[in-house]
Amino acid sequence: MKMNRRQVLGLTAGIALVSATGTRFAFADAPATEKMIMDFAGGKMPATGKITLTAPEIAENGNTVPISVAVESAMTDGDMVQSVLILAEGNPNPDVATFHFTALSGTAAATTRMRLAKTQNVIAIAKMADGSVFMDKKEVKVTIGGCGG
């Protein structure tokens, strides 16, 4: 079958990702991360929507990768974001940060810089005041890993 360059690159990245997740002992794996998501979400898998995670497709330097989150919310009584949890599925520990917002925040949006040990998914989960939970996920390719190893 005829494949264009983009498809070949995508397939190669997919194969690399699958074989990378085989080396489990040094890095957190997807099931461990999934448990953290469920714990934060109160025992259920979050829905998609409302939250947008922005991260570069390719991070030249895994030591400092800029990421942003934004959650659609009026940030007033009845429509408020409580916290946003950021996880890195393939880091030695998936926890990255938890942002806490208030009505004074104005918007439930924040930017920071994080470390990525290798190519992996970054996950952001928003917990609303009414208990509903939303999630976004982005794959970031890392050329130089950022865990100092």
Which spans of this chain sit near another protein (rule: CB under 8 A)? 63-65, 75, 88, 91-93, 95-107, 109-116, 146-149
Closest among 142, 149, 136, 147 to 109, alpha carbons compared: 136
Q: Which CB, 99 or 134, lies closer to another protein?
A: 99
Owner of token pair 């934060």: 40
Q: Tell me how far apart the alpha carbons of residues 126 and 124 are, in angstroms, rounded to a whole number.
A: 7
Q: How far is the CB of 12 from another protein (least distance, A)?
A: 27
Q: How far is the CB of 68 from another protein (least distance, A)?
A: 8
Rank residues 1 and 104 by Cβ distance to another protein and give the closer one: 104
CB 133, min distance to another protein, A: 17
Q: Measured between alpha carbons, how far apart are the two ends of the chain, in Å?
A: 41
The single residue listed with the structure tokens 């448990």 is 35
